[in-house]
């Protein structure tokens, strides 16, 4: 900063005033030089103002970019240090920089931190230190900047801008972190809602979802689902190599606030979509999810038929079956045909048999029934590992509860044929007893499986195996060895991997995932027994005949 005398005659007075202010003075060489001096001074001033504005704009532009990225202020502070020619740091107690500055200027640092002053400028050795309080909440973090030769007013103004931008960037980072925590919590709530629905506990799902009411439950698809009495379950499988996050986002965009989208806790490739639906509007889920499947080659989807929420687990199983079938259709999406179920063709007397089998569960305590029976049913349906993940228990607990339940039913949990009987009994027990069909004594399972309607249905279902040689022999041998792949492969004289590939191919024909744990083997065993391909004596009947 300098003083300028625009006429030689005024030079003594200007010089006196300049000395008093501690400024240098420019004196024109003659009257003819006054205008040129003024022009040069104004040009220099304009150039400096432009440079100051450019620096400020650069800082604000960078800050806006970092705010969009929800990034911290580190990059901004490095840029400001380059522009000002001195270190610029954001400090707080516990940092080495804080201890160093507080040791030299403890009073000023503490005044700014406590909010008694917003800014302070103090000498620091041969440099000048500027301190700025950052943010609104006390105690503040402190923006500290050092510079040799002092801080001109325009650089101090730049630091004031920077302090404000740092506070905004901090808010952006905290918002991102809070949102991530909230999204994680919401994902957990959605998983819990799904788990309660899988257990048939609608009331429990409502209780878990209550915190979402304050956030707008419909926004997260929970309100629409829980308000409906029934609906469908769909399972969408990611394309090979695709990140599940993208598939989940596509599903959420497709269903909007009208459904519940949950990354499957049991399979990292799957997204579970729960949609409320009327029984008469069967095409709606397919219409919603068909664009999702078509967005990327390799995506697949299976959709169940409409069921009450008490049968959500059954709907999930139907969706898995449909997903297996979707592998063999060009569209990549299939709706499960409920008419292909054995339950459709069994006579009403089968329900009496099932209730008789399940009567053994009353030997258990009420607590055991409440905990073990739902877990056992899911373990039968999906295998111990998947059931445990779906319900939030470990694999060992799932197997232990299955053993307790099946022992009470008079069955051995280690035998595939016994598990097939328990699985059928549980499915039939969900159906109400019909007063007109309560024979005494209860029917035998073997008699039920040999009824003409059941035999004809099973024979039709197995016709798809005619195109594959020795498929029935492969399955019969597999069941004879309790579904142990290694032992079966040895007996059939093939490598274990070859056997696994052939088993998977047979499962694809039957639209059942035979290569995975769950109820698919039980369904095939019952088919083979009903069709006469395996002796009916292969399945046990825990209901003892009456004399």
CATH number at residue 325: 3.30.70.270
What pLDDT was estimated at residue 292?
A: 93
Distance of CA 352 to the CA centre of its chain: 42
**Which tokens go with 455?**
């035999």
Q: In the predicted model, is pLDDT for residue 416 greater than 90?
A: yes
Structure confidence at residue 235 (pLDDT): 95
- Residue 141's SS3 state is strand
In the prediction, which pLDDT does 546 show? 45
| pLDDT top residue among 393 and 27 | 393
**Whole-angstrom distance, CA of residue 540 vs CA of residue 257:** 48
**What are the angstrom distances between the C-alpha of 186 and each of 115, 179, 207, 276?**
37, 10, 14, 20
- At residue 112's C-alpha, the angle toward residues 109 and 115, to 5°, is 145
User: What's the CATH code of the domain at 95?
Assistant: 3.30.450
- Of the candidates 167, 198, 229, which is a domain's last residue? 198
Query: Which whole number is the average pLDDT over 187-193?
Result: 84
CA 195 to chain centre: 15
pLDDT value at residue 338? 65
Q: What is the dihedral of CA 378, 382, 383, 387, to 10 degrees?
A: -50
Peptide bond connecting 139 to the previous residue in cis, omega within 30 degrees of 0: yes
Q: What CA–CA distance (Å, rounded) separates 516 from 497? A: 14
Mean pLDDT of 226-237: 87
Residue 378 counted as domain residue? no
Kindly state whether residues 250 and 320 are assigned to the same domain.
yes
Closest CA to 422 of 358, 378, 347: 358
In the chain, the number of structural domains is 3
When pLDDT is averaged across residues 1-8 and rounded to a whole number, the result is 68
- Could you tell me if residue 522 is inside a domain? yes
238 vs 443, higher pLDDT = 238
Query: Are 237 and 292 a contacting pair, CB within 8 Å?
Result: no
- In the listed set 198, 227, 247, which residue is the last one of a domain according to the structure? 198
pLDDT at 215 (0 to 100): 62
Q: What is the pLDDT of residues 116-146, one digit of tens each?
A: 888 888 888 888 888 988 888 888 888 889 8
DSSP states of 225-241 as a string?
Answer: HHHSSEEEEEEEEPPTT
pLDDT at 234 over 90: yes
C-alpha–C-alpha distance, residues 536 and 352, integer Å: 20
Is the same domain home to 468 and 503?
Answer: yes
Q: Please give the Cα distance from 483 to 541 (Å, whole number).
A: 20
pLDDT at 299: 94
Find all residues with CB under 8 Å of 213, minimum gap 6, and list them. Answer: 223
Instruction: Say which DSSP state 204 is in.
Output: H
From the list 161, 96, 87, the residue with the least C-alpha distance to 128 is 87
Between CA 81 and CA 89 the distance in angstroms is 9
Does 405 have pLDDT greater than 90? yes
Residue 376 lies inside a defined structural domain of this protein? no
* Cα dist from 161 to 46, 108, 123, 139, 266, whole Å: 21, 20, 22, 20, 51
**Residue 80 forms part of a structural domain:** yes
Q: Which tokens go with 493?
A: 């004289």
Question: Percent of the chain scored above 70 by pLDDT?
Answer: 90
Contact criterion met (CB below 8 Å) for 517 and 526: no
Task: Provide the pLDDT confidence category of residue 464 given band limits of 50, 70 and 90.
Answer: confident
Whether 227 contacts 276, CB under 8 Å: yes
Judge whether 228 lies within some domain.
yes
Instruction: Clarify whether residues 221 and 184 are in a common domain.
Output: no
Enclosing domain of residue 267: 216-337
Q: Rounded to an integer, what distance in angstroms lies between the CA atom of residue 369 and that of residue 405?
A: 8
pLDDT above 90 covers a percentage of the chain that reads 22
Q: Quick check: 330 and 272 in contact, CB under 8 A? A: no
Domain membership flag for residue 345: no
Position 103 confidence tier, pLDDT thresholds 50, 70, 90:
confident
Q: What is the mean pLDDT of residues 40-58?
A: 82
Q: For residue 108, is it within any domain?
A: yes
Window from 75-89, 203-217, 397-411 with minimum mean pLDDT: 203-217
Could you tell me if 276 and 221 are in contact, meaning their C-beta atoms sit under 8 angstroms apart?
Answer: no
Q: What is the C-alpha separation between 267 and 97, in angstroms, rounded? A: 49
On whether both 330 and 230 belong to a single domain, the answer is yes
**239: nearest Cα among 250, 223, 226, 225:** 250
Q: What pLDDT, on a 0 to 100 scale, did the predictor assign at position 272?
A: 94
Choice between 417 and 197, residue whose per-residue pLDDT is larger: 417
On whether both 161 and 229 belong to a single domain, the answer is no
The reply to whether 177 and 102 lie within a common domain is yes
Per-residue pLDDT averaged across 324-345, rounded?
Answer: 83
Query: What does the chain come to in residues?
Result: 547
Distance CA 189, CA 205 (A): 9
Residues 6+ apart with CB under 8 A from 277: 228, 230, 231, 232, 284, 285, 306
CA distance 204 to 196: 6
pLDDT (0 to 100) of residue 414: 93
pLDDT of residue 277: 78
Q: Is the pLDDT of residue 218 over 50?
A: no
Q: Going along 359-468, which residue ranges are E strands?
A: none
Instruction: State how far Cα 190 lies from the chain centre.
Output: 9
pLDDT at 547: 42
| pLDDT confidence bin for 278, thresholds 50/70/90 | low
277 shares a domain with 234: yes
Instruction: Tell me the per-residue pLDDT of 484-543, one tens digit each, with 9 for 90 and over.
Output: 999 999 999 999 999 999 998 888 888 888 877 888 899 999 999 999 998 888 889 888
Residue 463 and residue 530 in one domain? yes
Closest CA to 344 of 422, 281, 431: 431
Instruction: Tell whether 169 and 253 lie within a shared domain.
Output: no
pLDDT digits (tens, 9 = 90+) for 280-321: 566 688 888 999 999 999 999 999 988 888 888 888 888 988
For the chain, the straight-line distance linking the first and the last C-alpha, in angstroms and rounded, comes to: 117
Q: Is residue 368 in some structural domain?
A: no
- The answer to whether residues 131 and 161 belong to one domain is yes
Residue 217's pLDDT band (cuts 50, 70, 90): very low
DSSP β-bridge partners for residue 233: 274
Q: Where does a domain end: 300, 318, 337?
A: 337
pLDDT of the residue at 513: 83
Residue 429: per-residue pLDDT: 86
């Amino acid at each position: 900063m300098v003083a300028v005398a625009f006429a030689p005659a005024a030079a003594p007075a200007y010089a006196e005033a300049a000395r008093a202010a501690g400024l240098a003075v420019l004196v024109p060489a003659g009257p003819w030089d006054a205008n040129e001096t003024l022009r040069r001074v104004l040009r220099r001033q304009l150039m400096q103002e432009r440079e100051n504005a450019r620096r400020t704009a650069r800082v604000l532009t960078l800050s806006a970019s970092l705010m969009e990225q929800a990034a911290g202020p580190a990059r901004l502070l490095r840029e400001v240090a380059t522009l000002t020619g001195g270190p610029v740091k954001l400090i707080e107690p516990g940092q080495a920089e804080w201890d160093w500055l507080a040791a030299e200027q403890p009073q000023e640092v503490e005044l700014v931190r406590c909010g008694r002053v917003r800014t302070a400028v103090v000498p620091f050795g041969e440099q000048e230190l500027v301190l700025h309080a950052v943010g609104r909440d006390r105690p503040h973090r402190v923006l500290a900047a050092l510079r040799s030769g002092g801080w001109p007013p325009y650089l101090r103004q730049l630091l004031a801008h920077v302090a404000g931008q740092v506070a905004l960037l901090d808010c952006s980072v905290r918002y991102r972190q809070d949102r991530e925590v909230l999204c994680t919590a919401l994902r957990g709530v959605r998983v819990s809602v799904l788990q309660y629905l899988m257990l048939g506990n609608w009331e429990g799902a409502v209780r878990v979802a209550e915190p979402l009411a304050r956030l707008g439950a419909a926004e997260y698809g929970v309100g629409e689902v829980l308000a409906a009495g029934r609906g469908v379950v769909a399972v969408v499988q990611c394309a090979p190599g695709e990140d599940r996050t993208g598939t989940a986002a596509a599903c959420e965009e497709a269903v909007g606030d009208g459904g519940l989208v949950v990354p499957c806790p049991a399979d990292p490739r799957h997204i579970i979509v729960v949609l409320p639906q009327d029984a008469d509007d069967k095409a709606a889920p397919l219409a919603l999810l068909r664009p999702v499947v078509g967005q990327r080659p390799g995506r697949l989807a299976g959709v169940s038929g409409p069921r009450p929420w008490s049968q959500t687990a059954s709907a999930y199983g139907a969706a898995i079956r449909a997903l297996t079938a979707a592998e063999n259709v060009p569209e990549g999406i299939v709706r499960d045909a409920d008419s292909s179920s054995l339950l459709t063709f069994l006579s009403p007397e089968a329900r009496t048999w099932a209730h008789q089998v399940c009567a053994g569960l009353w030997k258990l305590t009420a607590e055991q029934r409440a905990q073990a029976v739902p877990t056992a049913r899911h373990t039968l349906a999906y295998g111990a590992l998947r059931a445990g993940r779906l319900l939030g228990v470990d694999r060992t607990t799932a197997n232990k509860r299955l053993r307790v339940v099946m022992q009470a039913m008079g069955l051995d949990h280690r035998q595939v044929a016994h598990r097939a009987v328990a699985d059928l009994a549980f499915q039939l027990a969900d159906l109400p007893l019909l007063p007109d069909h309560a024979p005494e004594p209860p029917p035998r399972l073997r008699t039920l499986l040999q009824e003409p309607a059941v035999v004809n249905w099973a024979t039709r279902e197995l016709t798809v195996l005619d195109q594959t040689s020795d498929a029935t022999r492969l399955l019969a041998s597999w069941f004879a060895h309790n579904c142990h792949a290694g032992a079966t492969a040895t007996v059939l004289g093939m490598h274990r991997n070859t056997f696994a590939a052939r088993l998977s191919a047979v499962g694809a024909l039957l639209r059942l995932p035979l290569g995975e744990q769950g109820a698919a083997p039980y369904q095939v065993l019952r088919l083979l027994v009903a069709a006469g391909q395996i002796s009916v004596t292969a399945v046990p009947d825990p209901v003892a005949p009456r004399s």
